[in-house]
Amino acid sequence: MNTINSLNMNTNTSTKSTKQQSQVDKDLFLQILTTQLRNQDPTQPMEDREMIAQMAQFSTLEQISNLNQAFNQFIDSQQVDISRYSTMMNKEVTWTDDVTGKQESGVVKGIIKKDDQFYYQVNDEEIPVGKIISAKEIASQSL
């Protein structure tokens, strides 16, 4: 057991990415497990259930790591850049007013992001992007 305590575990994990940290955790676990097996007393080998429990822990660690990686990929795919909605600038849009039930229209003058929700600024109102039912180019006016 002293050999396990003498393993060099001096890594700077605060600057590593999540993927690198996950790999370090797996590698460290395997290092400890192989060191235990290498240095166990042959007259008193590790019991089968201890070995099975450790392997189950490793499997759980790996699955949690994979789940965390998949979750991070999902989060990254859900983040939307404001530029996606910038194509609507200076276009005439139509939406249905929730209060009156009537269709209203106006020209998009800005894009606003509040609480991970995007809104078009139209006629001094903030219209959720999902409420827009049509959009069209404004006819160019000659001066």
Q: Is 121 exposed, middle or buried (0-12, 13-18, 19+ CB in 10 A)?
A: middle
From CA 15, how far away is CA 39, in angstroms rounded? 33
CA-wise closest residue to 1 among 30, 43, 38? 38
* CA–CA–CA angle 112, 116, 117 (5° rounding): 55
Which residue would you say has higher pLDDT here, 101 or 82? 101
Flag whether pLDDT at 3 surpasses 90.
no
Flag whether pLDDT at 12 surpasses 50.
no
